[in-house]
C-alpha cells in the first residue's frame, strides 16, 4: 500500500515539499536538543511537542522512524553568535558544583518534562561528550580546505562553501549584514560570520571539560557537535532536521556549512550536501507582556516559565500540549494563563466525552463489536496531518467525531484511538481525577475535598441549605471553588 502523501515546509527552500524518504520505508530525523545548564522553559518544550508530532505523523504514514535528540553538555556559549563563555562551565562555576553534576541534573529535569508532556522518547539520546573523538576526526578532515587557526581556536571559513547563510535569508548582501550583526568580532577572523569549531583553553586556565586535539587542549564548538552526531547516527544525507526558529539564523547555517565541507562542498541546490534534505523549524512561544514578561521567553533574561510552575498552579501538563497543538507549529503561539485555562477546558471536554462513551459501552446501551473507520473518515485525519502537520484541524475533526451521536460509541472510541496516535493526548486512559492537580498553595488534599463535596451533596438532597452553604464557605476558605451550574459538571476547582 502506498503511504498517504505528507507535505512539509522546508525552511531551506522556503516551500512546501512532498516527503520523499532517502531510504525506502524509513524516516531519519535529528532534533536539536537542550543545552543542559538550566531548566527548560515551556517555549523550549514546544520544539519537542512539534518534533514528537512529526515523528507520530511519519509513523502514522507507515515509515520506520529513527529519531535522534542530542544533549548538549559542552561547547554551547552564552551567546549563540559564537561569543561568551561555555554555558555549562559558567553554570558550574556559579553553583560551585561539578559540571558533570550540573549536566546530569538538568538532563533529568528535561526528560521529566518530556514524560509529563507525553512526548515519546527518541530512538536515541546522543550526549555530546560521548562523541569528542569523532568530532576531532571530523574537524581534522575538513580543516585543510575550510579552516584556519587562531590563538583562540580553529575557525571555519564560510567563504569556502557555496550559499552560506541561505537558510537565514542571507542571500543578499543586505540580508547577510542583518544576520551577521549578531555575530561576535574576533581578532584575526577572515570573515565576520566565520565560527569556531574547536575552542582552545586560554593559557593559564583549566576547564572542567577539555580534551587534547591537534589544535591544543580545548573543547568543540556547539555547531560541530550536531554535524558529527547527525552524520554518525543517521548518515548523510538523512531526511529531516528540526529545531526552534532561533536556530535558523546562526546555528543551523553553520551546521550546514560544516556538512557541505564534509560531503564535498556542493551547493544547497544539491540537498545531500546540507546534511538533511528537509530543515524544519517551529516558531516562538510569546508571553503576553501583561503576564509580567517582555515577550519571547529567554533563560538569559531570567524571563521564563517552567512546566513545573504550570503544574504547581494546578494545570495538567497535557493542557499545555493541547495548547501547542491548537496552533500551527510555524505560527507564533501566545501564552497566557487564560489561554492555558481554555486549553484545559477543551481537554476536560474531550475526557468527559470519552467517559460517557465508556459508560454507554459498560451499560450495554451500545454494541461493542468492531466498527473500523471508513476510508473517508480516516482520510480526514490523513489530509490534515499530511498538510504540514495541521494538528489544529485534527483536533477539530476528532471533536466532530466524538459529537456524532448517531455513530456507535465503539466506533467513536476507535476514532479517538486512531487520532490520538497523532495528538498524543492519552485520551483512552486520561481521567477527570488526573486533570485535578492540587496547586502547591492548596490548603486541603483531594480526598478532603471529595469528602466535603459528598457531605454537601447530601445536605442539598436533604434540603438543608444552611449546612450546604456552610460547607461551601468552608471549602472557599481553603481556596476550593464549588462550581454549581458549571456546564461541564466539573463540581469544583482550585482557586
What is the secondary structure of 310-370 as a DSSP string?
Answer: HHHTT--HHHHHHHHHTS-TTS-EEE-HHHHHHHHHHHHHHHHHHHHHHHHHHTTSS--S-
Query: Quick one: pLDDT at residue 85?
Result: 82
pLDDT score of 421 more than 80: yes
pLDDT score of 393 more than 50: yes
Residue 414 and residue 146: Cα distance in Å, rounded?
56
Query: Quick one: pLDDT at residue 81?
Result: 62
Cα-to-chain-centroid distance, residue 248: 16
Query: Quick one: pLDDT at residue 259?
Result: 95
Name residue, grid cell 543578499: 172
- Cis check for the bond before 224: say yes or no (omega within 30 of 0): no
Query: Quick one: pLDDT at residue 437?
Result: 76
Q: Mean pLDDT across the stretch 217-237?
A: 96
> Which 3 state secondary structure label does DSSP give 131?
helix
Tell me the CA end-to-end span of the chain in Å, nearest whole number. Answer: 53
Residue 221 and residue 197: Cα distance in Å, rounded?
4
What are the pLDDT digits (tens) for 276-286? 999 999 999 99
pLDDT band per the 50, 70, 90 thresholds, residue 170 = very low
Lowest pLDDT segment from 168-182, 288-302, 316-330, 414-428: 168-182
Cα-to-chain-centroid distance, residue 363: 40
The pTM for the full model equals 0.89
Cα-to-chain-centroid distance, residue 77: 21
What are the pLDDT digits (tens) for 6-28? 999 999 999 999 999 999 999 99
Residue 408 and residue 353: Cα distance in Å, rounded?
13
The kind and range of the H/E element at 435 are helix 432-435
Scanning 6-98, the segments in alpha helix (DSSP H) are 42-60, 87-95
Buried b (16+ CB within 10 A) or exposed e, 80-94: bbbeeebbbbbbbee
Residue 404 and residue 410: Cα distance in Å, rounded?
12
Q: Would you say 156 and 257 are in contact if contact means Cβ atoms under 8 Å apart?
A: yes
Q: Would you say 251 and 232 are in contact if contact means Cβ atoms under 8 Å apart?
A: no
Q: Would you say 446 and 434 are in contact if contact means Cβ atoms under 8 Å apart?
A: no
Query: Quick one: pLDDT at residue 181?
Result: 44
CA-to-CA dists, residue 371 to 58, 374, 378, 399, 407, angstroms? 25, 9, 13, 18, 10
244: which strand partners? 282
Residue 116 and residue 132: Cα distance in Å, rounded?
31
> Which 3 state secondary structure label does DSSP give 170?
coil
Residue 195 and residue 221: Cα distance in Å, rounded?
8
Cα-to-chain-centroid distance, residue 231: 22
Cα-to-chain-centroid distance, residue 196: 27
Other C-beta atoms within 10 Å of 494: how many?
Answer: 19
Q: Mean pLDDT across the stretch 452-466?
A: 85
Q: Would you say 87 and 78 are in contact if contact means Cβ atoms under 8 Å apart?
A: yes
Long-range own/partner contacts, residues 361-366 (CB < 8 A, 24 or more apart): 361/409, 361/410, 361/413, 365/409, 366/408, 366/409, 366/410
Residue 18 and residue 338: Cα distance in Å, rounded?
37
pLDDT score of 366 more than 90: no
Tell me which range, 39-53, 88-102, 376-390, 465-479, is most confidently predicted by mean pLDDT: 39-53
Residue 475 and residue 471: Cα distance in Å, rounded?
6
pLDDT score of 186 more than 70: yes
Closest to 60 in 3D by CA, of 388, 419, 427: 419
pLDDT score of 109 more than 50: yes
pLDDT score of 182 more than 60: no
Query: Quick one: pLDDT at residue 241?
Result: 98
Amino acid at each position: 500500500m502506498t503511504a498517504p502523501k505528507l507535505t512539509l515546509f522546508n525552511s531551506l527552500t522556503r516551500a512546501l515539499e512532498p516527503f520523499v524518504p532517502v531510504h525506502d520505508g524509513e524516516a531519519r530525523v535529528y532534533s536539536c536538543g537542550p543545552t543542559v545548564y538550566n531548566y527548560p522553559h515551556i517555549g523550549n518544550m514546544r520544539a519537542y511537542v512539534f518534533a514528537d508530532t512529526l515523528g507520530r505523523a511519519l509513523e502514522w504514514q507507515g515509515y520506520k522512524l529513527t529519531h535522534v535528540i542530542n544533549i548538549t553538555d559542552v561547547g554551547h556559549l552564552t551567546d549563540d553568535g559564537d561569543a561568551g563563555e561555555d554555558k555549562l562551565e559558567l553554570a558550574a562555576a556559579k553553583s560551585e558544583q561539578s559540571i558533570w553534576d550540573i549536566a546530569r541534573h538538568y538532563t533529568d529535569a528535561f526528560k521529566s518534562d518530556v514524560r509529563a508532556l507525553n512526548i515519546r522518547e527518541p530512538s536515541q539520546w546522543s550526549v555530546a561528550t560521548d562523541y569528542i573523538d569523532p568530532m576531532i576526526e571530523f574537524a581534522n578532515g575538513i580543516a585543510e580546505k575550510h579552516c584556519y587557526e587562531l590563538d583562540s581556536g580553529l575557525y571555519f571559513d564560510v567563504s569556502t562553501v557555496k550559499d552560506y547563510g541561505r537558510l537565514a535569508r542571507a542571500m543578499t548582501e543586505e540580508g547577510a549584514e542583518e544576520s551577521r550583526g549578531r555575530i561576535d568580532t574576533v581578532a584575526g577572523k577572515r570573515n565576520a560570520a566565520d565560527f569556531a569549531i574547536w575552542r582552545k583553553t586560554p593559557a593559564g586556565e583549566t576547564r572542567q571539560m577539555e580534551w587534547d586535539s591537534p589544535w591544543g587542549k580545548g573543547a568543540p564548538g556547539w555547531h560541530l557537535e550536531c554535524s558529527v552526531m547527525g552524520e554518525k547516527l543517521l548518515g548523510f544525507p538523512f531526511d529531516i532536521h528540526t529545531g526552534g526558529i532561533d536556530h535558523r539564523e546562526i546555528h543551523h547555517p553553520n551546521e550546514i556549512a560544516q556538512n557541505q565541507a564534509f560531503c564535498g562542498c556542493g551547493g544547497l541546490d544539491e540537498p545531500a550536501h546540507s546534511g538533511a534534505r528537509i530543515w524544519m523549524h517551529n516558531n516562538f512561544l510569546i508571553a503576553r507582556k501583561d503576564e509580567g514578561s517582555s515577550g519571547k521567553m529567554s533563560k538569559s533574561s531570567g524571563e521564563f516559565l517552567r512546566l513545573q510552575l504550570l503544574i504547581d498552579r494546578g494545570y495538567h501538563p497535557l493542557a499545555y500540549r493541547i495548547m501547542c497543538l491548537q496552533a500551527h507549529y510555524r505560527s507564533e503561539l501566545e501564552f497566557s494563563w487564560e489561554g492555558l485555562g481554555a486549553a484545559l477546558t477543551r481537554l476536560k471536554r474531550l475526557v468527559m466525552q470519552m467517559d460517557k462513551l465508556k459508560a454507554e459501552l459498560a451499560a450495554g446501551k451500545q454494541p461493542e463489536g468492531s466498527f473500523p473507520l471508513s476510508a473517508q473518515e480516516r482520510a480526514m485525519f490523513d489530509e490534515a496531518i499530511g498538510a504540514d502537520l495541521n494538528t489544529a484541524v485534527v483536533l477539530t475533526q476528532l471533536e466532530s467525531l466524538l459529537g456524532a451521536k448517531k455513530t456507535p460509541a465503539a466506533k467513536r472510541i476507535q476514532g479517538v484511538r486512531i487520532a490520538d496516535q497523532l495528538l498524543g493526548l492519552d485520551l483512552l486512559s486520561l481521567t477527570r481525577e488526573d486533570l485535578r492537580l492540587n496547586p502547591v498553595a492548596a490548603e486541603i488534599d483531594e480526598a478532603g475535598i471529595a469528602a466535603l463535596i459528598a457531605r454537601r451533596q447530601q445536605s442539598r438532597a436533604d434540603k438543608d441549605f444552611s449546612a450546604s452553604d456552610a460547607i461551601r464557605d468552608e471549602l472557599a476558605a481553603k481556596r476550593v471553588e464549588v462550581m454549581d451550574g458549571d456546564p461541564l459538571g466539573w463540581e469544583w476547582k482550585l482557586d
